[in-house]
Amino acid sequence: MCSPKNVDAMGVSVADPAVQQGAATPALINDLVIANHILADQGIVDAFGHVSVRHDKHSDQFLLARNMAPGAVTEADIIAFTLDGNPVNAGSRSVYLERFIHGEIYRAHPAVTAVVHSHSHAIVPFSVIKDVPLRAMFHMAGFIGQCVPIFEIRDVAGSGSDLLIRNNALGTALAKHFEESDIVLMRGHGSTVIGRSLRQAVYRAVYAELNARFQSMAMQLGNVTYLTQEESKACANTVEGHLARPWDLWKQQAELKRRNS
């Protein structure tokens, strides 16, 4: 009997490995759905972009929605993947092409529990300017630090790629940039943010976009006073100790919008 197959975002058939033993906790799946809705409601993702969480029963797997707009994700759309990016239980559902971003980050960084990849609007300009780094400039974004690294895909894929992380080799190259930073810009593409919890990763994705927006505005006014390394660390330690506050608010706002739509 043939094993079930699914088709990825580019129409390539991908075989499912054996169905996993031990499904993820329903609460974790629900939180991942909520994370998708929050990121969409906050304008971090639109029809594109994705968020994942490490499987709570299998540390060598992660959960990610099928290939779809994040704002429309439901529990039934969540799929488990191996760190190689192979779907475990996709069936006939199509999967994101850039799932390799997530798998290779989880492989390289065992402490990472959640990953957000987006093309948020204020971030993209900083990905193409080499002499003006994205830096923490207000206390809610201390995690950004002093200089966000930029992943240059040309260094790995040459000058003719579509800028997408479409295989494990590109995912591995990107993952190396997180050794010194919790956020990495991707030249001409967007950014990827990591966290030790789903709430932390979502928080960081939202406030990275806000910091980029504020930094652009401030630079038009004059010389910017950025956070020092010590201030960045202190701010991150303090503010990120209260992640339930923005999560609960954003969840309520996203759920209200869905009910009224």
Known catalytic residues? 98
77 Cβ partners below 8 Å, 6+ apart? 33, 65, 66, 68, 93
Q: Name 207's Cβ contacts closer than 8 Å, sequence gap at least 6.
A: 140, 141, 143
Amino acid of residue 215: Q
Amino acid (one-letter) located at 244? A
| Helix 198-221 × helix 244-260 angle, to 10° | 90
At CA 101, angle to CA 3 and CA 213, rounded to 5?
140
Backbone CA torsion sign across 248, 253, 255, 256: positive
Residue 112 CA to residue 198 CA, distance in Å, equals 10
Two structure tokens written together for 195: 């966290």
Q: What is the DSSP string of 146-180?
A: S---EE-THHHH-TT--S---SHHHHHHHHGGGGS
Instruction: Evaluate whether 126 touches 133 at the Cβ level (below 8 Å).
Output: yes
**Vertex 245 angle, CA 244 and 250, to 5°:** 95
